[in-house]
Amino acid sequence: MNLEAFVLGCGGMMPLPYRHLTSVLLRREGELFLFDAGEATQISIRRLNLRWKKITAIFISHMHADHVTGLPGILMLNSQVDRQEPLYIFGPPRIAEYIEQTRRSLDMYINYEIIVKEFTEPGILWEDKEFSIRSFGLRHTKPCYGYTLEEHMRPGAFFPEKALALGVPRGPLWSLLQGGGNVTLPSGLLVHPEDVLGAPRMGRKFSYATDSLYFPEISREVAGSDLLVCEGMFEDALLASAVEKRHMTARQAATIARDAGGVKLLGLIHYSPRYADKELKQLLQEAQEVFPNTILTRDRMNFPIENVD
Ligand SMILES: [Zn+2]
Ligand SMILES: [Zn+2]
């Protein structure tokens, strides 16, 4: 199963000539899930040559311009392809009003169904037989949510030699056991999946958290993430300003990653436009003092998230 994250933009507040606004696209088995869509997000998608019509759902963190002004362009572009399935958009209150008003005032041509789901309480938003997508609360100047995509546990590895030793012939009975079913052999012997499978394996987890005051409970939500993409907007010296604006420093993002436990990689995002690219190394350095496995995300970086077994 392919799981890969693409950073479409890594900047906060305003797009810069060399840095688009914070947005991440997750591709799982060809399905695309978009997290935030600031002005010009579509440019990065086009440059990555990803197919539009495959966007299944869009998740908006909060109703600030740098996270939603790219939506109309993405909605219009989806009309240029033959799209049968609806597009789902999840977000805090007023996202429906924003989309509806923009559609009407711009006479946007949309030839497919858009289903907008506003929510006010964190929880599971998307449930698939293999994974779920969940929101969790953040603390910003407006209602704001982080998101995780988490795969369910997978059955353990199959040991053919154990199946053969028990007398289970190669074929459909093997698939049945691999899928978690019991098998009764002609001899009357009942074979359970655990007789031929290893221990269940963890699924993968991706987390996205941006535009928030630091608070320790974020760690609980992102625990065990293979990839955590988290706002690291300011350097230590601007901590007071970060708190006042309800944003995070890079060190605070690293603190979340460290305290969560099980986070494999932290990608910083939503940099203040005050920093030129080469100045970001200060943020990286401060974060790495707390959580060494931190990197600076850049526009159009991609992160394959592999199964460990
Ligand atoms: Zn922002
Ligand atoms: Zn904001």
User: Token digits for 70?
Assistant: 């790219």
On whether the CB atoms of residues 92 and 142 are closer than 8 A, the answer is: yes
Least confident of 3-12, 39-48, 206-215: 39-48
Top-confidence residue, 264 or 202: 264
Bridging pattern class, strands 143-151 and 205-209:
antiparallel
Provide the residue type at 235 as one letter: E
Q: Which ligand is nearest to the CA of 66?
A: 1
pLDDT digit string, tens, across residues 293-307 = 999 999 999 999 998
Q: Ligand 1 centre and the CA of 182: distance in Å? A: 51
Residues with CB under 5 A from ligand 2 (ion): 64, 211
Q: Ligand 1 centre and the CA of 41: distance in Å? A: 14
Angle between helix 250-260 and helix 280-290 axes, rounded to 10 deg: 30
Position 130 pLDDT exceeds 80: yes
Nearest to 77 by CA among 100, 96, 55, 99: 55
pLDDT of residue 186: 92
pLDDT digit string, tens, across residues 149-202 = 999 998 889 999 999 999 999 999 999 999 889 999 999 999 999 999 999 888
The overall average pLDDT reported for the chain is: 95
pTM: 0.92
The three-state secondary structure class of 28 is strand
H or E element, residue 9: strand 3-9
Q: Which ligand is nearest to the CA of 15?
A: 1
Position 14 pLDDT exceeds 90: yes
Position 52 pLDDT exceeds 70: no
The three-state secondary structure class of 308 is coil
Largest CA distance in the chain: 74
Active-site residue list: 66
pLDDT of residue 79: 85
Buried b / exposed e over 234-272, threshold 16 CB at 10 Å, is bbbebeeebeebbbbbbbbbbbbbbbbeebebbbbbbbb
Q: Which ligand is nearest to the CA of 37?
A: 1
Handedness of CA 176, 180, 184, 185 (dihedral sign): positive
pLDDT digit string, tens, across residues 65-75 = 999 999 999 99
Q: Ligand 1 centre and the CA of 67: distance in Å? A: 6
| Mean pLDDT calculated for residue range 194-212 | 94
* Banded pLDDT at 309 (limits 50, 70, 90): low
